[in-house]
Structure 1
Amino acid sequence: MFQNAYALFFLAALAGSAVALWALLRAHGREVIAVLRGQTPHLPHTPARPRRARIRSGRRLAFAPVTFSICRI
């Protein structure tokens, strides 16, 4: 029973690593190929931003303000 659990964990870790490597190569494949060929990669002047990141402008509270009432009726 435990051997199956170890095998499942190993396969899940292997699949996760393969997906992460595939995403990395999809995002930066041209730069990797240029470096492997010995060329200087063409990098954009603006920093790359993750596709799924939301950037909020301004300060916002992390949690809603909590109000306590001593006399609740």
Structure 2
Amino acid sequence: MSLIHSLLEGLDASDRERTVGLINRSIAADLASVADGAGPTRQVDVGTRSRARRTRSTSGSGARSGR
């Protein structure tokens, strides 16, 4: 059973037709956007955050002394 069929299980005929229509229109819109050069849309805006950087302590508290 495909994912679509499992999602439609239990729906009456009119709800099934409406749902399949929504899915088809969404897919067609995505394909048209890609054909026009659009990239995939992101679910969330991640912004331009940079990663936290670990800095080495110069106080010597974390350094081994070699003794």
Q: TM-score range by the shorter chain?
A: 0.3 to 0.5
Q: TM-score, normalised by structure 1?
A: 0.37
Richer in helix (by share): 1
Larger Rg: 2
